[in-house]
Amino acid sequence: MSLFTLVLMVHATGSINWDADHVRGMQFFTMMVHCARYGFVFVTGFVLFLAYYRSPITASAFWRRRYGFVAAPYLAWSVIYVITGYVFVREPWPDTGAVFGDIGAAILQGNAKYQMYFLLISMQVYLLFPLVRMLLRRTEGHHGKVMAGAAAVQVGVFALFSFYHPDLDWYGHMWKALPTYALFLVGGALAAVHYERFAPWARRNRRWLVPLSIAGAVFTVVMFFATTGGGHIPGLAYAAWSVQNLPWYLAAVALFFIVAQAWDDRRGDGTGWGARFVDYGAVRAFGIFAVHPLVIDLIHQSGFVDWLYATYPGTTLQRSILLVLVTLVASLCLVELILYTPLARILVAHDRIRPRRKSTETAADHAAAPTVGPADDVPESRVAAATDPASVAPVARVPERDGAGAGAAPARGSVVRAGAAAR
């Protein structure tokens, strides 16, 4: 949820703050928030491997489960955003063939809207998961070499994108390809595979992990301001695949994991208000991610942004804060509405929530009854809540019939202490 909240923030503020006086500030903010995409891949790898590394689930069963949740929302929102793009731009609609061509291109390229590439990356992770799992299984005892190889790929890709700029259409989409996120996917996977050792190690070494992460962030910030100024902002300073920004992305993921771990240590039995709030957000995070660009467009169409500029003509902070809050609340309301409709699974990747009805069940009967929907996989939802549920949305079950029972790893640490099998 936290990562996608950052995505919402940068999209909302970026829709109003690109005038000449604030370009540098927006580029800096955007560069810093780019860490969300790398945290997204790290957590996706972490949760998938925590669930399925030791499970005998077959590739076809895995693909059927994961694509069964993500494919429909990806296709549905690709169509929605292409169509609403015509509406909001207020240009004459193209002919039918051009409309279908635009939809097809948007689906293939993940650019129906500016956040859709996240799902394109997710589907690549799902596609290659069986292959990566096989690699890690066959290289057990040598995972340090695998990590080094992933780091070499990561740095190499960043260097290529930073310093090589051919005028090729396909090259402009290469940042959506999985090699751009190799280190973060493998890092998340290995953090899960070695969770019993990695989690205590991270707790013991926070005293130097935190300062080291802050140093990485400082390096990137200093490089940004050293290479910008005088109205000149080179792409290398703010690009999401810039070599000089990689230390911040690594630092952000490390800090994110440390904070999530600290939260999980204090989570208790999951009945406190904080835990309930996180669980509430976990169910709605993917939906907020999906709908927020539509909400931003509707807010602009409503005249609210004009009111912001009239009310706060000389400042950007108040305008940005108000627009972010309105976007977040409106997105949450829209998601809440969708969750109670038959379109919930298609649009927000979650089973429909049905209004509660009065029942004669006893409290004990109610407590013993299983929950309904994707969240009934307790270990997965625990990991998601402790890290970032939106990044692994849609959440899926790991039932015993798919081999997640006897063949799965035992519950690991406090993150999954409530579950029977590690996610």
Per-state percent for the chain, helix, strand, coil, to nearest 5: 75, 0, 25
Residue 407: predicted pLDDT: 33
Report the first-to-last Cα separation within the chain, whole angstroms.
18
229 bridge partner residues:
232
Non-local (6+) Cβ contacts of 384 within 8 A are 47, 282, 391, 392, 393, 395
Which residues have a Cβ under 8 Å from the Cβ of 291 and sit 6 or more positions away? 331, 334, 335, 338, 347, 348
Structural domain boundaries in the chain: 2-355+371-416
More confident residue, 125 or 394: 125
d(CA 46, CA 379): 13
User: Cα–Cα distance between 402 and 408 in angstroms, integer?
Assistant: 10
Query: Residue 347: how many CB atoms within 10 A of its CB?
Result: 21
What percent of the chain stands above pLDDT 70?
A: 83
When comparing pLDDT for 400 and 101, which is higher?
101
Alpha-carbon distance 208 to 55, whole Å?
35
Using alpha carbons, select from 48, 234, 34 the residue that is nearest to residue 123.
48
Range 356-360 average pLDDT = 59
Encode pLDDT of 190-223 as tens digits. Answer: 999 999 999 999 999 999 999 999 999 999 999 9
Which residues lie below 8 Å from residue 230, measured CB to CB, with a gap of 6+? Answer: none
What CA–CA distances, in Å, run from 23 to 115, 307, 379? 21, 22, 43
pLDDT of residue 409: 36
Kindly state the average pLDDT of the residues 54-68: 94
- Which of 58-67, 224-233, 362-371 shows the lowest mean pLDDT across its residues? 362-371
Which residues partner with 232 through β-bridges? 229
Lowest mean pLDDT among 154-158, 289-293, 298-302, 357-361: 357-361
- Spatial CA neighbour of 180 closest among 199, 159, 198: 159
Residues 293-297, mean pLDDT to the nearest whole number: 96
More confident residue, 351 or 363: 351
Question: b/e string for 127-146 if b means 16 or more Cβ within 10 A?
Answer: eebbebbeebeeeeeebeeb
What pLDDT does 39 receive?
95
Q: What is the pLDDT of residue 148?
A: 97
φ/ψ of 354, rounded to 5, equals -100, 140
Could you read off the pLDDT of 168-198 as tens digits, one per residue?
Answer: 777 888 899 999 999 999 999 999 999 999 9
Higher-confidence position of 110 and 377: 110
Report residue 127 as tokens. Answer: 């596609």
Question: Residue 265 above 50 pLDDT?
Answer: yes
**Percentage of residues of the chain with pLDDT beyond 90:** 58
Is pLDDT of 324 > 90? yes
